[in-house]
Amino acid sequence: MNTARALRRVVAQLADFLRWPSISTDPAHRRDVAGCARWLVAHLRSIGLAATLHPTPGHPVIVAHGPRKPGKPTVLIYGHYDVQPPDPVELWHSPPFEPAIRGCKLFARGAADNKGQVFAHITAVAQALREPDAALPNVIFLIEGEEEIGSLSIEPFLRAHRRELRPDFVLVSDTSMFAKNLPTITCSLRGVAAFELRVRGPARDLHSGIFGGTVANPATVLAQLIAALHDPRTGRVRVPGFYDGVRPLTAAQRRAWRRLPFSEDGYRRALGVPQLAGESGFTSLERRWARPTLEVNGIFGGYQGEGSKTVIPAWAGAKFTARLVPDQSPQRVVAATRRYLCAIAPPGVKLEFIPGHSAEPYIAPMDSRCMRAATNALRSVWGRPPVLVGEGGSIPIITSFKRILGADSVMVGFGLPDANAHSPDESLDLDVFARAIRASRLLLAELAR
Ligand code: BES
Ligand code: ZN
């Protein structure tokens, strides 16, 4: 039972979890990431789990086992305790690492992505363990600290621990609900491939008056290269081979997604853009969930300070990520983009290409026992069956679970569309959080039956 008092206590614990600025990408926060991991291990032990902190070359991985339940299936509950940087901090209405409740929402970086969601499952298991004969299957928590930077250490970790980790199912709550009143199961994720480009020109920054007009300006060339990535008329990526292997949408898929309660104009207004844009011939949901994209995540180079400085920068750079769908391969997409950019770059510059993290796209099978348990649990708590959606984001480890542990994932998300993951004022809806705890209890109880 979630009495108001019990929920307040759980939210206070979650707030302690959220106070850690466990920003995995920022070396300045390495100790905070480690401190957060230690806090979490202590919490998992305090509720009766056998929790271990495993150092890795990156950030620690945490594994926690529940009591052994011979004859029952094993469910591995995955989550991440690392968070994205809070920038731009000045746009938050309360400090990102000082959790604050306004209305029915808890605001903090990581509230939805992913500390709040994984804490719902931790709390469900904690409640079950307080009962005399806990209705639980074998439960293993695997909570990592590198999800937001591509889960680089986790793959070798899974290989090394494949005998200890032998789940029948993986349960992941790191996705969104389609709407607050619509319990949601995610059936697919896009993959991702990150890379960086440096355009190098003169040996040093040059006076733009003395030398301007005689050398290629790396910032101009970078802008030309970026502009050449898309066809402005159709929104399609121009890189030859980019769409190789892309599975076309099926008519059934398109019909099912068109039945979801979604307004293109409401979506446009919520994002604050004058007009939506993208690949022609597809709806916004199709573009987000089933079509690949190539995005610029940042552009840099040249003088960025106050006022003006008359230079031709020696170099300019940009960060990119492609989002991928079955059956594209991250490596092939990055190689094709590299070939294309090198082919069209003018001779006055050199290109340097730095590959980054990647993840494969994933499609979840819908007919497992865990999928049925999730469907039933959501139906009981929300009073209606879940909607089935795709997602445009990526969770790199999910295909490693399949490849290394042989287990498929069931993705039940509790972040709301306006949770502001990765943005200022990230939040967790506490009403949804309370329901998520109940749903997790029901799901686990059904697996224990
Ligand atoms: N929770 C998200 C992934 C997500 C978001 C899935 C929304 C479905 C819907 C996760 O924490 C995330 O942000 N992943 C990164 C992975 C990347 C850094 C490799 C992403 O998708 O950008
Ligand atoms: Zn995230």
Ligand 1 binding pocket includes 398 (Cβ within 6 Å): no
Ligand 1 binding pocket includes 337 (Cβ within 6 Å): no
| Residue 125 shares a structural domain with residue 170 | yes
- Among 336, 234, 247, 321, which Cα is nearest to 290's? 247
Residue 87 alpha carbon to ligand 2 centre in Å: 14
- Provide the CATH number for the domain around residue 312: 3.30.70.360
Distance from chain centroid for Cα 409: 15
Instruction: Using the predicted structure, report yes or no on whether residue 1 has a pLDDT greater than 60.
Output: no
In a domain, 271, yes or no: no
| Residue 12 shares a structural domain with residue 74 | yes
Which of ligand 1's atoms lies nearest the C-alpha of 422? 13
Ligand 1 binding pocket includes 357 (Cβ within 6 Å): yes
Ligand 1 binding pocket includes 146 (Cβ within 6 Å): no
| Residue 52 shares a structural domain with residue 114 | yes
Relative to the alpha carbon of 175, which ligand is closest? 1
- For 428, phi then psi, to 5°, come to -120, 130
In a domain, 38, yes or no: yes
- Residue having the nearest C-alpha atom to atom 13 of ligand 1: 148
Which of ligand 1's atoms lies nearest the C-alpha of 150? 19
Q: Tell me which of 84, 148, 363, 422 to substitute to probe ligand 1's pocket, judged by most ligand atoms within 8 Å of the beta carbon.
A: 148
The domain boundary, picked from 338, 359, 380, lies at: 359
| Residue 321 shares a structural domain with residue 390 | no
| Residue 297 shares a structural domain with residue 383 | no
| Residue 182 shares a structural domain with residue 129 | yes
421-444 tens-digit pLDDT: 999 999 999 999 999 999 999 999
Ligand 1 binding pocket includes 440 (Cβ within 6 Å): no
| Residue 325 shares a structural domain with residue 184 | no
Instruction: Using the predicted structure, report yes or no on whether residue 71 has a pLDDT greater than 90.
Output: yes
Structure tokens at 430: 């506490």
**pLDDT band for position 132 (cuts 50, 70, 90):** confident
In a domain, 51, yes or no: yes
| Residue 352 shares a structural domain with residue 372 | no
Average pLDDT value for the chain: 97
In a domain, 270, yes or no: no
Ligand 1 binding pocket includes 359 (Cβ within 6 Å): yes
Q: Residues 389, 395, 401, 406: is their CA dihedral positive or negative?
A: positive
290-301 tens-digit pLDDT: 999 999 999 999
79-96 tens-digit pLDDT: 999 999 999 999 999 999
Model pLDDT, residue 114: 98
In a domain, 259, yes or no: no
Which of ligand 1's atoms lies nearest the C-alpha of 192? 19
Helix (H) and strand (E) counts for the chain? 12, 18
Relative to the alpha carbon of 419, which ligand is closest? 1
In a domain, 440, yes or no: yes
Residue 118 alpha carbon to ligand 2 centre in Å: 13
Residue 174: how many other CB atoms lie within 10 Å: 27
Residue 231 alpha carbon to ligand 2 centre in Å: 29
- Provide the CATH number for the domain around residue 31: 3.40.630.10
Under the phi-then-psi rule, with left for phi > 0, alpha for psi from -120 to 50, and beta for the rest, what region is 40? alpha
In a domain, 273, yes or no: no
Count the domains in the chain: 2
Ligand 1 binding pocket includes 358 (Cβ within 6 Å): no
Ligand 1 binding pocket includes 144 (Cβ within 6 Å): no
Ligand 1 binding pocket includes 139 (Cβ within 6 Å): no
Instruction: Give the separation between CA 249 and CA 282, rounded to whole angstroms.
Output: 10
Model pLDDT, residue 274: 98
Which of ligand 1's atoms lies nearest the C-alpha of 80? 11
The domain boundary, picked from 359, 385, 409, lies at: 359
| Residue 326 shares a structural domain with residue 367 | no
Residue 118: how many other CB atoms lie within 10 Å: 23
| Residue 305 shares a structural domain with residue 206 | yes
Mean pLDDT along residues 413-420: 96
Residue 114 alpha carbon to ligand 2 centre in Å: 7
313-363 tens-digit pLDDT: 999 999 999 999 999 999 999 999 999 999 999 999 999 999 999 999 999
To the nearest whole percent, how much of the chain has pLDDT over 70? 100
SS3 assignment, position 229? coil
| Domain hosting residue 344, numbered range | 191-246+292-359
Q: Tell me which of 147, 153, 288, 412 to substitute to probe ligand 1's pocket, judged by most ligand atoms within 8 Å of the beta carbon.
A: 147
β-pairing, 169-172 vs 74-80, is parallel
Which of ligand 1's atoms lies nearest the C-alpha of 321? 22
Instruction: Using the predicted structure, report yes or no on whether residue 2 has a pLDDT greater than 70.
Output: no
52-65 tens-digit pLDDT: 999 999 999 999 99
User: Bridge-partner residues for 319, per DSSP?
Assistant: 196, 298
Q: Tell me which of 154, 174, 188, 420 to substitute to probe ligand 1's pocket, judged by most ligand atoms within 8 Å of the beta carbon.
A: 174
Ligand 1 binding pocket includes 174 (Cβ within 6 Å): yes
| Residue 349 shares a structural domain with residue 319 | yes
81, 18 contact by CB (below 8 A) = no
In the chain, the largest separation of any two C-alpha atoms, in whole Å, equals: 82
In a domain, 66, yes or no: yes
**pLDDT band for position 3 (cuts 50, 70, 90):** confident
Nearby residues of 291 by Cβ (< 8 Å), 6 or more positions away: 246, 278, 279, 282, 325
Relative to the alpha carbon of 146, which ligand is closest? 1
| Residue 108 shares a structural domain with residue 160 | yes
Ligand 1 binding pocket includes 360 (Cβ within 6 Å): no
Mean pLDDT along residues 391-418: 96
